[in-house]
Structure 1
């Protein structure tokens, strides 16, 4: 008697364990809207899946100039704890 073999799903190694939130484009920003579409494409399953490209889309959305900016840099740097002065 032989047992039918079943194919196991592929193992996907990811640093975020599948919890990376879907990026939100700025209202009315066409480049960000396209980047979210690319993020969805790269985050899907199949041969187009590319974790690195998905992260690149998130970074591009975060760094894209908006008014108001999506990411704000504080005016002063944090205090150095290693003794390095700037």
Structure 2
């Protein structure tokens, strides 16, 4: 349809930046993918696929990941909005 934006999906630079922030925070905390998976009650492979950009997080999953990594999800979104302008 004319004038309609398409969703860039996993290749979107903003989404990649968000994933980089989550991966960096996990490293800062010194926790493994397995430990993060345990905090979230999910399999380590899910964490790996998210970090590799093979699996996209929905909003609820994003909030859970951010909170498990002791980050404020709203602040991450605000940061993303500032850097994408």
Q: Counting helix residues as a fraction of each chain, which structure ranks higher? A: 2
What is the TM-score with the length of structure 1 in the denominator? 0.32
Rg (Cα) greater in structure? 1
